[in-house]
Each structure stands twice: as structure tokens, then as C-alpha cells.
Structure 1
């Protein structure tokens, strides 16, 4: 049985579509489909059933997943052993919450790329937790540790958040001296029914439970705050990127959250991914510390 056919089989099983597998593999969907047909002929069984929701594994296909993943692991080990002295290359896909993706990962990716010139770094910013079981990414950063799944979980770093507004907004609205004053101000936050993790429910800690402008993306919320549209809870590590942003009531509203690094349990023995995970963790920690130090420096941004 051809390993390359098994590789394509796994991509379809994880993406649940020919087009999704093709995008991951750099092939067109018709080629993926032909290769799946060839594999089905080789094993003498249908591996997928086409449904309105996509390509679902048959019973025969489900039985092939474990040996295919074992072959995948063996192939990766061979590549790692032959390239050990050349440095790390290939593709690294990381699933990241969009706040981390926008304000931390560009600098971390720059340093990784400089250390490993042959490495292709893909940053997947999604308003949900990336599904490692379906191999949507090689590793993921989450805002809370998962309760289920065959994963290895590593705490990366705590990070802080504060209420903030742009000085253009603050100059045009009543002063804020206590939590009660916030009721007279426009708030910006997450769309309530699109909060995919309880750790993202920030506004409840301000005493204001509804927002006038909402988005499922941190970057959109930040741009609305930057435009003077209202106040919102922002990551301290994002504040240095926005000139004119001022922290409000830091003694009363101060949140701490954590980032967690998730990897598939089957990858724990991968030397390559272990090195890259350590480098990613080190980079995230350093970048959070560097940026947060700027927030309450002597020339701080408190309102």
C-alpha cells in the first residue's frame, strides 16, 4: 500500500471533504478523489460515504485510521532523522485565538523563521478552538485547558487584561471615577452567543452586562475602541500597538487569564514538534512580558 495514498486518506478523514483535504495537501479536489478511489480499489472496500455534511468514514475507513496514523508517525520520524543536521524545515501550522494571533504571533513567527529558514509557518486564527483530532493544525494555543481529547496540555503563560478607551472617546464623554460611571458609557465586547470559551466573558467583571458594539473578533473590538466608539476590555499586550489608548480604573478592573499549548498525544515523541513547541512557548512568554512591561511604565496610560 502506497504511503502517499494513506496520507491523502488521512487528510480527507480529517477535513471531511475533498476540497478541504486538497487545500491542506496542495492538490486539486479531483486529484484527491482519484487517489481515494485508487486506495479503495487496493483495499477492496469503500472508505468514505458521501453525505450532505461531507465525506464520512465508513466502518472500513474507520478501521484504517489507526494504521494510517502509525504510518504517518513512522514517515515523520524518518524525515526527522535524515534532516537532523540541516535544521528544522517543512510546515508548522498553529491554531491561535485571534488576540494572540494579531499581537503576539507575528513577532514570535519572525523569530522562528529567522532561527529555521526552511520552516513554513502557518498561523490559523479562528474564533474557536482548533480541532487537533482532525489535524486542523500541528499544535494550538487555547485560553483554557480542554476537558476531553487525546492531547498533551502545557501551560504557557498568564496574561492580563484591563478596561481601556481611546483618549478621543474619553475627551468627549463624562469622566470615569468608579464602576458606577460605566453605565453612562458605550461598551464594546464579544457577541454573547458567540463566546466560545467562558474565559472570554470579560464584561461581566465590569458590572455592565450588555455592549452596544460587539464582534466575535478581538481585532475588530480593538479597532472599534481605537476609533473612539466606546470602552472595552483589552489585552495588556495589545495596548502598546494603539497610540492614545488609556487604561481605565486599573485598581478596580484587572483580569488575569492563561494561554495553554495543546498538542496531539500521538506527537509527544516527535523531536521536531517538541523543539518547535518549546520555541513557540518561549517566544509567547517573552513577548507577553515585553509588551506588558510597557503598559504601566513611568509614562503610563492610566485614565
Structure 2
């Protein structure tokens, strides 16, 4: 007599799909949409999984959705590994017989994710409609170890952990202001004499990486009367013509409303790192997106370094 999926240790292995969807989306409705089922089905399957394991996996609230408990966090690690193993096995048997499919979550710094990756990944998604992509452009580090993303673009190379990583690209930052600001505020020839200018900056005690403290190094004693945790907010504030900001060239150069100020004196080069969990790297959808992002960065080196203002796109 054939056993059903619940006979082995009382766990229905299919319930783990529902568990992973809820853990990743944090709501039953979003998980239901991803799984193409009714949200009541998702809630029921989670209750059944909790009953079979005799534990509570989620703290549930109307305002906060589904938040993993400590037991849920433990199960997430196992369920994620099971999913990756099944996907890898499936790809080994199907080979190239099927089109690329599945889900990929990409984490990135806020500016790069919003201004560079978003248009690039839109083209990739169009070419691969069976791959669903989550892009997380956030002003903080994305944790690969906590499964917050499958691929991450970071300011700093990971020092430890089971990751595959490579230097993605160099990029340049310059000091930018509007033409109207520069007309009304004569600019000195030496950076040491910029004390009369207003600047935009990060909130120093809240930066997630010391790599972001560009202004303090480029213009010592610069006065910033407006600070924010967001580079996108600095970009929009700079466009108001009330202050200067150090911005990545890939953000500012395409905008005719901003002009680089003394670029021969203030030009900062930084790097992005492309990282992925080692156990995911060989999945076909991960590999395809990884290669696409690398190619997009390579052909856009002139944009990233402030030499041109037009973005290029790899062939599909």
C-alpha cells in the first residue's frame, strides 16, 4: 500500500512549499498569489504543518502579518535546503529541455538597485517570463545567510560564509549641484575653501557601511544641514537647488538637472561585489541572472565611471 506524503514522521512535505512562501512574503495573501491558490488554503496548510510538528512557526497579527518564531527560523533553514536540493536534482534530469523558470530574489544597495538594476532586470524579466524576480534596493546590508536574497550586490566583499563572490564593477562618485545653485553660489578653486556651501550627507551614526562617508573624506569640515539615510533622497534633494551632494555618476550623469562640480578634484572610485550562496550558484536561473548582471555591468563601465550618460543593455 502506497504511503501518502504525511506518513513519514507525520509531516506533509508539500506543506513546506506553503511554509517557504509565507516565510518569504510574510502574508498569507501574498503567498497565495505566488502559489496560485486561495489565501484560506495557505492558512490551513500552515496550521496543519504546525500541528504535525507540534510547534508554532509564525507569530500572526493583522498589522504585522506572519513573523517567524525561533522554531520557524530553524525550520526555514531545513526547508530552504530541501527546496534547493530538489531544484538542483530536477535541473540535473531535465537539463536544457525546459525554459528557465523559478523565483530569484536580488538584494542591492539602494541607488544601484533603483537606478541601474531596475531597468536592467526589467529587460531580463521580459526575456525570461517564467522567472519571477524580487528586487530589494534597500539602504542597508541584505543578509544572504538569513535567506533575505539569493543574489546580493554589496559594497564590501564577504569575509566569511559559504558564498561565491566576484568583483562586479568599479563606479565613480562626484560632487553634483544644479546649474541654478552654481550660478548663485560662486565656487572656489580649492576644496578647502568650500565652507560657504551647503551640502547633503548621510546620517553619520546610521550608515550601514563606512564606505558611504564620502563627504567627510572629500571635503573636511563640510557643513551638511540636511542629512538622510537614503542616497535616493539625497539625489532628489540635490535637484531642488539648495545644496550639493556626492552622488554616483550612474545616478547623476543621465540627469540634465545636475552638473558635476570640480570633477578633477572630487572624484571617488568605489566597487560593487556580486555575491551568492554557494548552494544556489549552479541553479540555472541563478546562473543566468548572475551572468546577465555581470554582462550589464561590463558593457556599462563608461556609465558607471561617469564617462557617458546613456545606459546600454545586453542582448536578451
TM-score w.r.t. length of structure 1: 0.83
Among 255, 260, 270, the residue aligned to 2:283: 270
**Is 2:196 aligned against 1:177?**
no
**Is 2:32 aligned against 1:56?**
no
Q: Would you identify which runs of 4 or more consecutive aligned residues in structure 1 move more than 6 Å?
A: none
Specify the alignment match of 2:308 in structure 1.
Answer: 294
Aligned length: 291
Among 236, 247, 253, the residue aligned to 1:234: 247
Specify the alignment match of 1:153 in structure 2.
Answer: 165
Whole-Å separation in 2 of the counterparts to 1:20 and 1:148:
36
Judge which range, 250-259 or 145-154, deviates more: 145-154
Whole-Å separation in 2 of the counterparts to 1:219 and 1:89:
32
Work out whether residues 90 and 120 of structure 1, in 8 Å CA contact, stay in contact via their aligned partners in 2.
Answer: yes
TM-score w.r.t. length of structure 2: 0.79
Change (3 A) 1:177 1:215: same
Work out whether residues 106 and 150 of structure 2, in 8 Å CA contact, stay in contact via their aligned partners in 1.
Answer: yes
Specify the alignment match of 1:300 in structure 2.
Answer: none
Change (3 A) 1:77 1:264: same
Change (3 A) 1:203 1:23: farther
Instruction: Report the alpha carbon displacement of residue 111 of structure 1 after superposing the two structures with TM.
Output: 3.3
Specify the alignment match of 1:213 in structure 2.
Answer: 226
Gaps of 5+ in 1: 296-303
**Is 2:51 aligned against 1:41?**
yes
Change (3 A) 1:48 1:90: closer
Instruction: Report the alpha carbon displacement of residue 260 of structure 1 after superposing the two structures with TM.
Output: 0.9
Change (3 A) 1:83 1:112: farther
Work out whether residues 130 and 140 of structure 1, in 8 Å CA contact, stay in contact via their aligned partners in 2.
Answer: yes
Q: Specify which structure has the higher proportion of helix.
A: 1
Whole-Å separation in 1 of the counterparts to 2:77 and 2:19:
12
Work out whether residues 28 and 43 of structure 2, in 8 Å CA contact, stay in contact via their aligned partners in 1.
Answer: no
